[in-house]
């Protein structure tokens, strides 16, 4: 097989990087054959060792950079290369925003067949560090002592870590303190090979506006050595702690949470605000990890919806009601739908918390519930979707095309599935007016987008 390929395993070659993959590796092409090389940046010339060849693509190791990108910087984090939590710390923030805009433009052309759609420059952060309000740390043991940090790239080896530069500093302090307390009181880490031990993960949540703290222990069983003393020590040593929770996950699985959650001390929730809307956040609530940029994203969604106070709006994939409640401030009526029952429970509580009475929430698949509403005479003037990474369900896209709302606002965390779905909506009578990318996750390859579509007259 390899005889017909332009590169051989263990060969050293000179390349020029053209692009980045979705996980931040440099892409070079040798006679059209793509080679993926971690740490390479677009525009750089480099010497590379070929380490693996497949039929359609290969992998290389960066040996020497012979011509550097003007955007290359020294990573700020000491364990950046081992950790894998970030992919772009070796690329300056200006360079990251350029790369993310290019990523959106490329998929709109290649997948969406939308070469002329208006794509704005990415809205970035003034301070692209210390933005995450939730820290989930796997716990292990090393030489008999408790450690907690991140998994090394492509492994389940835990790197002990005291600080993470994309976490809120408060979360770092909380996790560090909780690890110390657990060590002091003899807590044993969960061993995934033997399926023994107690503590699997420590999670900290922090309300950016409220400054409230939640600590969550994820354990294998209900047991936690010296539980009472640990709770007392946390309450005594962590300012603003409002909630200490235990989640029990007895399964042999990589999934973090189990089904059983109990409050050990304090409240079941902490509170935070995005703009004027307050949210109650429980241990398992889905809540945006970068509230500062979420405000930027939702303000843009609200602008694209262009509400006057007379509209009926449907929010598909509404989660805990974050976008719905923003829209409800300007709409006549908002209907939200979401498949996760706990999220709908949270959405209803959040509506009540904010005194919002013109938002109604239903449990179910958007593609099933929305046609039922349609049959009952609920017709949306504006339809908002914020689907998971896999994009919208085909049935939902067909429902939108049949229902013909005048505007569709599509919030996306995956430009590739956004491009695919925009093509379907365009073929169904819509026009994509503009797309605004927003950087919710600096130092990583992820980019969110908001797209505005209008129904073409006569459809």
Q: Are strands 260-266 and 241-248 parallel, antiparallel or unpaired?
A: antiparallel
pLDDT, mean of residues 430-448: 97
Contact between 114 and 122 under an 8 Å Cβ cutoff? The reply is no
Residues 395-410 as b or e (16 or more Cβ within 10 Å = b): ebbebbbebebebbbb
On whether both 203 and 328 belong to a single domain, the answer is: no
Q: What is the pLDDT of residues 170-225, one digit of tens each?
A: 999 999 999 999 999 999 999 988 999 999 999 999 999 999 999 999 999 999 99
Give SS3 for 271: strand
Tokens of 147: 């450690």
Q: What is the pLDDT of residues 272-283, one digit of tens each?
A: 999 999 999 999
On whether both 298 and 444 belong to a single domain, the answer is: yes
- Round to whole Å and give the CA distance between 253 and 257: 10
Tell me the percentage of the chain whose pLDDT exceeds 90.
90
Domain assignment present for 238: yes
Domain assignment present for 386: yes
Give the model's pLDDT for residue 96.
Answer: 98
Indicate the range of 2-11, 135-144, 214-223, 371-380 predicted with least confidence.
2-11
Q: What is the pLDDT of residues 312-343, one digit of tens each?
A: 999 999 999 999 999 999 999 999 999 999 89
pLDDT, mean of residues 52-79: 96
Contacts within 8 Å (CB) and 24+ apart, 376-381: 378/312, 378/314, 378/335, 379/312, 379/403, 379/405, 380/312, 380/313, 380/314, 380/335, 380/405, 381/310, 381/311, 381/312, 381/313, 381/405, 381/406, 381/407
Q: What is the pLDDT of residues 356-390, one digit of tens each?
A: 999 999 999 998 999 899 889 999 999 999 999 99
Q: Which of 212, 240, 274 is the last residue of a domain?
A: 274
Indicate the range of 5-14, 33-42, 106-115, 141-150 predicted with least confidence.
141-150
Q: What is the pLDDT of residues 83-101, one digit of tens each?
A: 878 999 999 999 999 999 9
- Round to whole Å and give the CA distance between 105 and 114: 9
- Nearest-CA neighbor of 138 among 122, 123, 158? 158
Give the model's pLDDT for residue 325.
Answer: 97
> Is residue 141 predicted with pLDDT exceeding 60?
yes
Domain assignment present for 442: yes
On whether both 302 and 442 belong to a single domain, the answer is: yes
Q: Which residue has the higher pLDDT, 360 or 154?
A: 360
On whether both 187 and 331 belong to a single domain, the answer is: no
Give the model's pLDDT for residue 1.
Answer: 45
- Round to whole Å and give the CA distance between 29 and 33: 5
Give the model's pLDDT for residue 71.
Answer: 98
Q: How far does Cα 215 stand from its chain's mean position?
A: 21
On whether both 55 and 155 belong to a single domain, the answer is: no
Q: Which of 215, 247, 274 is the last residue of a domain?
A: 274
Give the strands of the sheet with 241-248, arranged side by side. 158-160, 145-151, 134-142, 199-206, 213-219, 241-248, 260-266
On whether both 107 and 177 belong to a single domain, the answer is: no
Q: Which residue has the higher pLDDT, 301 or 81?
A: 301
- Round to whole Å and give the CA distance between 430 and 408: 9
On whether both 320 and 411 belong to a single domain, the answer is: yes
On whether both 243 and 159 belong to a single domain, the answer is: yes
Residue 413 appears among annotated catalytic residues: yes
Residue ranges making up the domain that contains 194: 134-274
CATH of the domain at 51: 2.40.50.140
**Mean per-residue pLDDT over the chain, rounded:** 95
Tell me which of 77, 86, 413, 449 is the catalytic residue.
413
Contacts of 219 (CB under 8 A, 6+ apart): 190, 198, 199, 200, 246, 247, 248, 249
Domain assignment present for 326: yes
Q: How many distinct structural domains can be found in the chain?
A: 3
> Is residue 144 predicted with pLDDT exceeding 90?
no
On whether both 231 and 341 belong to a single domain, the answer is: no
- Round to whole Å and give the CA distance between 132 and 150: 15
- Round to whole Å and give the CA distance between 36 and 52: 10
Q: How many CB atoms lie within 10 A of CB 357?
A: 10
Q: What phi, psi does 458 have (nearest 5°)?
A: 95, -10
Give the model's pLDDT for residue 248.
Answer: 98
On whether both 204 and 352 belong to a single domain, the answer is: no
Domain assignment present for 191: yes
Give the model's pLDDT for residue 3.
Answer: 58
CA dihedral over 375, 380, 381, 382, signed as positive or negative: negative
CATH of the domain at 424: 3.40.50.150
CATH of the domain at 172: 2.40.50.1070
Give the model's pLDDT for residue 143.
Answer: 81
Q: Which of 274, 305, 330 is the last residue of a domain?
A: 274
Domain assignment present for 84: no
On whether both 172 and 206 belong to a single domain, the answer is: yes
pLDDT, mean of residues 121-140: 97
Tokens of 3: 């005889």
Domain assignment present for 413: yes
User: If you ran DSSP here, which 8-state letter would residue 364 be given?
Assistant: S
pLDDT, mean of residues 230-258: 96
> Is residue 400 predicted with pLDDT exceeding 50?
yes
Give the model's pLDDT for residue 2.
Answer: 43
On whether both 154 and 113 belong to a single domain, the answer is: no
Domain assignment present for 77: no
Give SS3 for 209: coil
Q: Are strands 118-119 and 58-67 parallel, antiparallel or unpaired?
A: unpaired
């Amino acid at each position: 097989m390899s005889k017909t390929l332009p590169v051989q395993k263990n060969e050293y070659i000179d390349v020029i990087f053209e692009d980045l993959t979705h996980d931040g590796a440099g892409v070079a092409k040798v006679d059209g054959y793509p080679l993926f090389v971690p740490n390479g940046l677009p525009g750089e010339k480099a010497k590379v060792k070929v380490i693996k060849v497949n039929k359609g693509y290969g992998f290389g190791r960066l040996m020497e950079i012979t011509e550097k990108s003007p955007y290359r910087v020294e990573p700020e984090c000491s364990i950046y290369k081992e950790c894998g939590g970030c992919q772009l710390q070796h690329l300056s923030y200006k360079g990251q925003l350029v790369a993310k805009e290019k990523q959106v433009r490329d998929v709109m052309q290649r997948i969406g067949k939308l070469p002329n759609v208006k794509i704005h420059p990415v809205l970035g952060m003034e301070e692209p560090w210390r933005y995450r309000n939730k820290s989930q740390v796997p716990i292990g043991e090393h030489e008999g002592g408790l450690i907690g940090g991140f998994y090394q790239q492509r492994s389940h080896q835990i790197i002990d870590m005291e600080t993470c530069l994309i976490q809120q500093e408060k979360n770092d302090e909380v996790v560090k303190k909780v690890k110390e307390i657990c060590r002091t009181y003899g807590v044993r880490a969960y061993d995934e090979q033997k399926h023994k031990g107690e503590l699997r993960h420590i999670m900290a949540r922090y309300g950016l506006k409220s400054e409230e703290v939640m600590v969550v222990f994820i354990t294998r069983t209900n047991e936690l050595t010296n539980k009472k003393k640990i709770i007392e020590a946390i309450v005594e040593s962590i300012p603003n702690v409002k909630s200490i929770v235990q989640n029990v996950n007895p399964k042999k699985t990589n999934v973090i949470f189990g089904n059983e959650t109990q409050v050990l001390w304090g409240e079941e929730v902490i509170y935070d605000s995005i703009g004027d809307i307050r949210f109650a956040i429980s241990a398992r609530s889905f809540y945006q990890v970068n509230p500062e940029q979420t405000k930027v994203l939702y303000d843009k969604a609200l602008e694209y919806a262009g509400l006057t106070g007379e509209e009926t709006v449907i929010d598909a994939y509404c989660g805990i009601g974050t976008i719905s409640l923003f829209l409800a401030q300007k709409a006549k009526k908002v209907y939200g739908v979401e498949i996760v029952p706990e999220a709908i429970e949270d959405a209803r509580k959040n509506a009540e918390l904010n005194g919002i009475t013109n938002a109604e929430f239903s449990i179910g698949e958007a593609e099933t519930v929305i046609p039922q509403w349609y049959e009952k005479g609920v017709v949306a003037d504006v339809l908002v979707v914020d689907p998971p990474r896999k994009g919208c369900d085909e049935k939902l896209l067909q429902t939108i095309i049949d229902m013909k709302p005048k505007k569709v606002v599509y919030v996306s965390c995956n430009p590739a599935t956004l491009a695919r779905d925009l093509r379907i909506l365009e073929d169904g009578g819509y026009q994509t007016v503009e797309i605004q990318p927003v950087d919710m996750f600096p130092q990583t390859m992820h980019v969110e987008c908001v797209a505005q579509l209008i129904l073409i007259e006569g459809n």
